Structure 1
């Protein structure tokens, strides 16, 4: 079969789909992803060889800027209306036509669309294809969901289509991190919990994270992800963490590559080593790590907890507050509200056997979920895998 994946063109939306793509290719299916032309390097370097790139639409910054213009809101801290316009309005206005034509020319048989991407359901409804939703983050807040659906419905009505519910939901977001309402799912739509994993780059020649020197000190990974990589914030967080007697590895993300002021390796105030690395697949960065400090991006949270590593989270925007709520509720991490709280929060988590135990319990539950190959079989061979 020909499996078409659809995602918002950002690392945190695309990379969690990689294991499903690999599984589909391993099972002999053809795979393509419809995503902005601006994401070509992301597709080439980070997704499995054999995934075809079908370019459609702009990159996230362009989506957010246009939505802010239409709603009079802020780009980085949009209103609920701005969220709806970004994912239900601008995304479809700028991407749907190209995506539909690309899917038609590629002769897709089925669509798998991540939770924030309204393009997948639109393509499926236009071409009369079955579609499946992939969840890799906390449930979309109800007011956001309503705003996105309202904006998308206007576009669908103009196109004369009415997308139906997904045939199933492939749940990369662990059951132990779901709230009660999210766990119930959509009426009549089966949910298959699927094992997620930390991102690994498929190329064997990809640069690797630096090997640990084995100092005997605890090791803390600091990552602000690929969107909220502000140099001043990163520097302040790293310095706060390094006040503890720990070794720190901090990733510069994508926006801060080469910024020497932030990225100079040094000795922290607590006596440990501070090392900066460029964007590296997080599976490599997590080796030997005792605590992860981040902003609550879904990719970082899933990766860390798949390794049983607890978290200190300082959410900055997007769905990070909702994700952080779920981690804290599960007991697998703590929230801070300012950089002033980071040092003590790291010390608290390092000294808490209970927080580590909860993180390991989440990891165990993730490992027990369906293999990505079974998830693909559930899509391509309906009824072959029970939710």
Structure 2
């Protein structure tokens, strides 16, 4: 069985598909990941074969309605946000579609699996007449955004994804997923956060509680992290905790100059969350899907500080499920952050809620159990 995996050039979209990709390979399937050339390093870094479906590109710059104008502007109007997001992913699909189609015609997959906003995937499957499966990376795409994305795909490429997928594969635990997300085959989220060396401190016992602080991969690229990091470090320094921070070297040097880094802080440019979270007691982050899901899988309470895109939805679900606290950009200051982190550390209700979601994830089928689902849909004999 040949399985073509199609992904946008974003860690949060691709990483959740890695466990299933490896399960398929381990069961004897041939797997090929189609993504822009600039993202192939992430594919090969995960030990998977990949092929470029277009040249190198900057995903954020490509998607922006105002490219080349510095820090991205987050629209305030929900309709404008949907239009911008839908058109952005349609622009990515326009670039990826010709190469993905050429690749698929040559390689001849039996089935296509694409993450929820890799819009070229279902179009290519339709052109080849093979089944298509959607792979969610977390919370389901809302129907309004899905409709705008399809509309913009039609405007920009003259094509439209042909109807619903044969199956939706969902790694979001049911208790955290939107209640109206629609039918899906749910399996366990297995954290994969990229190849990285596990820091020594994560393997040692700790005398005090430890808080992990990460702001993802997008915010740091636009200089939005430095002032926010100042506030967060000040807040955490007020608490009797150890601090593990994923930050750029230039941010670390700046905080050193300002004497804002406590002696107990551990910093790294990239933290392999799946490896370090067992050595932590809580996580404060930007609300990104990968960080949210990985933290849920480890049963840790969270404090989310959303800035754009699906970060707000993830933050809202954290508060609704009792697994964490969310602070809007206007609410963030040293006092509010310190209070939120103290609450998730010391109020048992947050830990209990997080533990319940972790237990739920552990009861779900694993990626290996999805191999039979993919084979059945592809029309390949199971067994």
TM range (shorter): 0.7 to 0.9
Please state how far the C-alpha of 1:55 moved relative to its aligned partner: 3.5
Contact residue 33 and residue 53 of structure 1 kept, 8 A? yes
- Pick closer, same or farther for the CA change 1:356–1:272 going to 2, 3 Å: farther
Relative to structure 2, which stretch is displaced further, 25-34 or 53-62? 53-62
Aligned to 1:44: 44
Contact map agreement 2:197 2:272 (CA 8 A) in 1: no
Q: Residue 261 in 1 paired to residue 256 in 2?
A: no
Please state if 1:339 is matched with 2:339: no
* Structure 2 residue aligned with 1:316: 307
The question of 1:198 aligning with 2:200 is answered no
Deviations 1:76-127 (A, max 9, x none): 5253221111113x12221111111112222211111111211111111121
- Output the CA distance in 2 between the equivalents of 1:266 and 1:215: 27
Equivalent residue, structure 2, for 1:176? 175
Provide the TM-score with structure 2 as the length reference: 0.87
Alignment partner, residue 85 of structure 2: 83
C-alpha distance in 2 between matches for 1:264 and 1:44: 35
Residue 4 of structure 2 is aligned to residue 11 of structure 1: no
Please tell me whether residue 227 in structure 1 is matched to residue 228 in structure 2. Answer: no
Q: Is the 8 A contact 2:301 2:344 kept in 1?
A: yes
- Residue 283 of structure 1, aligned match among 274, 285, 307: 274
Q: 1:26 to 1:264 in 2, by over 3 A?
A: farther
The 4+ residue runs of structure 1 with deviation greater than 6 A are 265-269
Which residue in 2 is equivalent to 1:110?
111
Q: Which stretch of structure 1 is more off in the superposition, 55-64 or 259-268?
A: 259-268
SS at match of 2:211: strand
- When normalised by structure 1's length, the TM-score is 0.87
1:237 to partner: Cα distance: 1.5
Q: CA RMSD in A?
A: 2.7
Q: Is the 8 A contact 2:7 2:34 kept in 1?
A: yes
1:354 partnered with 2:345: no
After superposition, the Cα gap between the structure-2 partners of 1:260 and 1:55, relative to the gap in structure 1 and judged at 3 Å, is same
Q: 1:232 to 1:210 in 2, by over 3 A?
A: farther
Q: Distance in 1 between matches of 2:212 and 2:142?
A: 29
Alpha-carbon displacement from aligned partner over 1:189-231 (angstroms, at most 9, x marks no partner): xx211111221546xxx52223245342110000001111222
Partner of 2:201, secondary structure, is coil
State the 1:264 CA deviation: 4.6
Displacement after TM superposition at 1:164 (Å): 2.2
CA distance in 2, matches of 1:111, 1:220: 40
For 2:78, the equivalent position in structure 1 comes to none
Cα drift, residue 40 of structure 1: 2.2
Mark the CA change 1:312 to 1:268 in structure 2 (over 3 Å): closer, same or farther. same
Query: What is the match of residue 32 of structure 1?
Result: 32
Tell whether 2:263 aligns with 1:241: no
1:133–1:169 contact (8 Å) kept in structure 2: yes
Change (3 A) 1:134 1:50: closer
2:177 and 2:290 map into 1 onto residues whose CA distance is 16
Q: Distance in 2 between matches of 1:75 and 1:283?
A: 29
| DSSP 3-state at the match of 1:176 | coil
CA 266–246 in structure 1, closer or farther in 2 if over 3 Å, else same: farther
1:166 aligns with 2:165: yes
Is the CA contact (8 Å cut-off) linking 1:266 and 1:274 kept in structure 2? no
Equivalent residue of 1:357, what SS? helix
DSSP 3-state at the match of 1:175: coil
1:216 counterpart residue number = 207
Distance 1:272 1:141, change over 3 A: farther
Name stretches of at least 5 consecutive residues in structure 1 with no aligned partner: 186-190
Aligned residues: 365
Is 2:235–2:337's contact at 8 Å kept on the other side of the alignment? yes
Are 1:22 and 2:22 matched, yes or no? yes
Q: Describe the shift of the 1:73–1:259 C-alpha distance in structure 2 as closer, same or farther (beyond 3 A).
A: closer
Q: Separation in 2 of the partners of 1:265 and 1:245?
A: 22
